[in-house]
Amino acid sequence: MSEFTGKTTKEFEAHLKDLSERCGGRIKVNLARGDAARGNGEGVWAVCASPEDAAIYNDESTLSRKFKVYLQNDPIGDGGWHGRRWGSPVIAQTFGVDRPCAYAVDQGPLDAEVERIAGVLKPLAVGEN
pLDDT at 8: 86
pLDDT at 48: 97
pLDDT at 111: 92
- In sequence order, what are the residues at sequence separation of 6 or more whose Cβ sits closer than 8 angstroms to the Cβ of residue 40? 30, 32, 33, 34
Measured between alpha carbons, how far is 54 from 48 in angstroms, rounded to an integer? 5
Residue 101's H or E segment, with its range, is strand 98-102
Sequential pLDDT tens for the chain (129 residues): 467 778 888 899 999 999 999 999 999 999 887 655 555 568 899 999 999 999 999 999 989 999 999 999 888 766 678 888 899 999 999 999 998 999 888 999 999 999 888 888 865 544 554
The identity of residue 107, as a single letter, is: Q
